[in-house]
Structure formats: structure tokens, C-alpha cells
Structure 1
């Protein structure tokens, strides 16, 4: 079994996936808050 050496693995794909996930969550939260504000305004 090979010795593990910290920091040698290429993680560009994982970083790109994580960045996409963070953007999706951020936009989802913005849309949800916008919908809730709209509902609150309409229902007065």
C-alpha cells in the first residue's frame, strides 16, 4: 500500500463542483426569500 502524502491529489474537479453547489444554494435561498416576501406583501 502506498504512503499517503498530503496535498498531492488534484482536486480541481471537486473544487469546481463545490463552487457550483455553493452558487446553487445561494441562488435557491435568494429565490425562496423573494417568494416569501412576495407572499407576505400579497397577503397583507
Structure 2
């Protein structure tokens, strides 16, 4: 088995993927909230 040394793995791709996921979720939340507000105002 290979010796594992903590902290030596290149994780740039994983970090970029996670950042993209967080941004996507944040935008989705904004869109959902805006849609709910719009629906509440129209049906008001």
C-alpha cells in the first residue's frame, strides 16, 4: 500500500466544483424566493 501524506493531494478541481455548486444553489434560492414573492403579490 502507498504511504499517505496528509495535505499533498491537489484539490483545485474539487474546490472549483464546490464553489460552482454553492453559487448555483444561492442563485436558485434567490429565484425561488423571488418567484414566491411574485406569486404572493399577484394573488394578493
TM range (shorter): over 0.9
TM-score with structure 1 length normalisation? 0.97
After TM superposition, give the deviation of residue 42 of structure 1 in Å: 0.3
Structure 1 outlier segments of 4+, above 3 Å: none
CA RMSD of aligned residues (A): 0.4
After TM superposition, give the deviation of residue 3 of structure 1 in Å: 1.3
TM-score with structure 2 length normalisation? 0.97
Unaligned runs of 5+ in 1: none
Deviations 1:25-44 (A, max 9, x none): 00000000000000000000
Unaligned runs of 5+ in 2: none
Q: Distance in 2 between matches of 1:42 and 1:25?
A: 26
